[in-house]
Amino acid sequence: MKRKLLLINAALSLLLGLMVAFYPKLNQVRTDIGVSEEVQIFYREASREADPSGNRARHVDPTSIPPQSGETPDPERPFSELYQAMVAHNRFLYETGQESLSDPWSYQQEVFDLSQYGLEGEAVAVIRIDRLELELPVFLGATADHMNRGAAQLSQTSMPIGGPNTNCVIAGHCGWTGAIFFRYLSNLQVGDEIELTNLWDELHYTVADMKIINPTDVDKILIQEGRDLLTLLTCHPYGTGGRYRLVVYCERNND
C-alpha cells in the first residue's frame, strides 16, 4: 500500500510539473484564439460601412466636424454619432491640455460604451505591425481585462481616429503568461510602418522615434500641437515588472 501511495504521489507530482511547464504555451494558444476572434468581430463591424463594391467609405477630416452636441448625424456614415463624439472628445482633450492625465498605467475608464452606439464587439480598432507579424484588437480603456485580451487605448489620450492635435496612446503587455502582445516592440525601427484600422478608415503611421521613460513621465505622451501621432507603450525591460516604459512614437503618413 505504501509503495502504491508513493507511485500515486510521484505521478501527481509529474502531472503538476507538466501543467506548470506547459501552462504558458497553453495560455498563449488560448489567448491567440481569443485575439483572433476579437479581430474578426471588429472587421465584421467595420464592414458595415463598405459600399456594394467593397470599398471603404470616404474618410472625412475630423477637423471638418463641429464639436457641438446635438448636431445632426450624417446618415451616410455608419456609427456617425460615435465618430462625432470621438472628434469632440479629442478636441476637448487638446483644448483642456489633458488635465486629467496622471499615471501612464492608470487610465482605465472607458470613455464610450460602444454597445450604446450599436456595436456588438468591444474593440474600437485593430493595430497591425508587419515587422512584428502582429495584429491586435484595440479596446478603450486600459483595464486589466482589456490588457489581457489585446492592446488598449489609454483614456485621457486621443481616440484612434487621427487628425491634427491628436496623440492616441496604445498600451500593451510586454508578454503576459505566454501571450506575446507587445513583447517584441523594442525590435521596431525608425521608418517601420504601423497600420491602425478604425471603424471608418485605415490610418497609416511611420515610426519616428523610440524612448525609454519612467512610468511617471506623463509629459512624454502628451498631445503635440499640430501633429497626428500614434504612441505605443509597454513595460521595459522584459521581466522586470515594469521598471520603465518603452515608448514608440509614430507619425501619420500623408496618405
CATH number, position 25 = 2.40.260.10
Q: For residue 223, give the 3-state DSSP assignment.
A: coil
The per-residue pLDDT for 2 is 62
The per-residue pLDDT for 93 is 95
- Give CA–CA dist 195/214, Å, rounded: 27
Where would I find the H helices in 115-219? 144-147
The per-residue pLDDT for 26 is 55
Q: For residue 51, give the 3-state DSSP assignment.
A: coil
Q: Which three cell numbers stand for residue 232?
A: 505605443
Q: Which three cell numbers stand for residue 19?
A: 501543467
The per-residue pLDDT for 21 is 44
The per-residue pLDDT for 63 is 42
* 35 close to 137: Cβ distance less than 8 angstroms: yes
Q: For residue 82, give the 3-state DSSP assignment.
A: helix
- Give the count of domains, the chain: 1
Per-residue confidence in pLDDT tens, the chain, 255 aa: 666 655 555 545 544 544 444 445 555 667 788 899 999 999 998 886 544 344 444 344 444 444 433 344 455 668 999 999 999 999 999 999 998 776 555 577 788 999 999 998 999 999 999 999 999 999 999 998 999 999 999 999 999 999 999 999 999 999 766 679 999 999 999 999 999 999 999 999 999 999 999 988 999 999 999 999 999 999 999 877 778 999 999 999 986
Long-range contacts, 83-91 (Cβ 8 Å, 24+): 83/161, 83/199, 83/200, 85/112, 86/112, 86/159, 86/161, 87/62, 87/161, 87/163, 89/159, 90/62, 90/158, 90/159, 90/161, 90/163, 90/165, 90/166, 91/67, 91/165
The model scores a pTM over 0.75: yes
The per-residue pLDDT for 59 is 41
Give residue 36's domain range: 2-252
